[in-house]
Amino acid sequence: MQPVDYTTLIASCSELCAKWLPARLEQVYQRDRFTISIALRTLKKRGWLDISWHPQGARICIS
């Protein structure tokens, strides 16, 4: 599994700023001890931002 480093974090933040702001936060779920899912809605689309801070498998995903 590829670790999340500083470059990955900056790229993810850049994509979020470009495509998902401004957005309204609609729901937040804590799926397990290390993962939250955030429902975002913009004027054009709706999606889920998954953030995991697991020590062996941290990830950031938007779908």
- List the domain boundaries for the chain: 6-62
52 in Cβ contact with 35 (< 8 Å): yes
DSSP annotation string for 6-30: HHHHHHHHHHHHHHH-S-EEEEEEE
pTM of the complete model = 0.84
Per-chain mean pLDDT for the chain: 92
Write down the pLDDT at residue 5.
85
Beta bridge partners of 29: 37
Contacts of 5-12 with C-beta under 8 Å, sequence gap 24+, read 8/60, 9/60, 12/60
Q: Is the pLDDT of residue 50 over 90?
A: yes
